[in-house]
A and B are shown apart, each in its own frame.
Chain A
Amino acid sequence: MHQITGQPGSLPRRRFLQLSGLSGIGLLLGGCGSTLFAEKVGETFEPLNQRLEILLFKPQTPVPEFSPSAIEPDALLVNTFGETPRLNPATFRLIIDGEVNNPLTISMVELRQMPLTSMIIRHVCVEGWAAVVQWGGVRLPDLMRLVQPKNSARYVYFESADGYSESWDLASALHPQTLMAYQKNGQPLPVENGAPLRLASPIKLGYKQSKWVTRITLVNELMPSRGYWEDRGYDWYAGL
Chain B
Amino acid sequence: MLDHDLAAFIQSGVSITLAACAPGRLPSMSRGYACMPLDSDAIGIVLPRSQAAEALDNIRLTGRVAVAFSQPTTNRTTQLKGTDARIAAFDPADEPLVRKHINDFVPEAIALGTPEEMVRALLSYERNDLVMVVFTPTSSFDQTPGPKAGQPLLATL
* Pair from one complex: no
Interface residues of A (CB under 8 A from B): none
